Structure 1
Amino acid sequence: MIEMIDIEIDNAIAFQMSGKITKNDMSLVLNAAKEKIERHGSIVLLEKIDSFKGVELAALIEEFKYLFDVGIANIDKVAILTDKKWIENIVNIEDKIFRNIDMRCFTLEQQPQAIAFLKSADLSYS
């Protein structure tokens, strides 16, 4: 399940994940991303992961269609809130692969720091 969150950043897509991600969940997030990209040109993402029990195949297909259609060039920063070490490890690898996107993990309690990171104007990529 995905629940959208308002973090008061105009070009942000923010959501909380729990359980299994469905096609409808994925469509909700991807449609919001398309709309924000059309309005702002680029977006930042905040993903709060409480629990994760997998992704439906149909949801993955939706994501691949989006990536084919829109791509990832319009994503500036990604903040992941999680207490799962394995998710943090994946994000660290993705940060090295997707060099044009600044990706960072934060604990669930560090949401204010994650939002400050997304608001910061520093777009230098390490």
Structure 2
Amino acid sequence: MIEMINIGLPDAIAYRIEGKITEKEMKTVLAIFRKKIKKNEKLIIYQEVVSIGGVEFNAMIEKWKFFLAFGLSHFSRIAVVTHKKWIHKLVDLEGKLFKSIEMRGFSKEEKDQAIEFLS
């Protein structure tokens, strides 16, 4: 499930992931991304990961169609807040691979620092 949340930053797209991600939820988030891109706005992402219970195949197809159409150049900063250490390592690796995007992982206790990082 992807749930849109408010973190108090009007420019940020913020959402919480818990359980399985559906195609409908993925399309909702990607529609928000597209809307900002059409306005020439950079994407600032706050992602709070409670748990990952899988992703529907069609949701992954939607995600890949988005990246094929738009690439990564529209992303500015990404903060991932989670208690899962393996996700922190993955975010750190992605940050090294995609140098044009500022990416950092934060623990649940560091949520305020994540929001500050995005502002």
Task: Give the TM-score band, short-chain normalised.
Answer: over 0.9
**Equivalent residue, structure 2, for 1:80:** 80
Decide whether the 8 Å contact of 1:4 with 1:15 is kept in 2: yes
1:98 deviates by 0.4
Aligned length: 119
1:105 and 2:105 equivalent? yes
Q: What letter corresponds to residue 92 of structure 2 in structure 1?
A: N
**In the aligned structure 2, how far is the partner of 1:83 from the partner of 1:47?**
12
- CA RMSD, aligned part only? 1.1
Q: Which residue of 2 aligns with 1:12?
A: 12
Percent identity, aligned pairs only?
A: 39
Structure with more of its chain in strand, by fraction: 2
Structure 1 unmatched runs, 5+: 120-126
Q: For residue 61 of structure 2, what is the aligned residue in structure 1?
A: 61
**SS in structure 2 opposite 1:78?**
strand
DSSP 3-state at the match of 2:19: coil
Tell me the SS of whatever aligns to 1:51.
strand
User: Aligned letter for 1:89?
Assistant: K
- The residue type equivalent to 2:30 in the other structure is L
- Aligned residue for 1:17, secondary structure, equals strand
> Is contact 1:12–1:36 with CA below 8 Å preserved after alignment?
no
| 2:70 alignment counterpart | 70
C-alpha displacement of 1:55: 0.9
Q: Which whole-Å deviations, capped at 9, do the CAs of 1:32-70 have from their partners, x for residues lacking one?
A: 111122235211100000011111111100000101111
The normalised TM-score by structure 1 is 0.89
Q: Which runs of 5+ in 2 are unaligned?
A: none
Match of residue 2 from structure 1 = 2
- Contact residue 11 and residue 36 of structure 1 kept, 8 A: no
TM-score (norm 2): 0.94
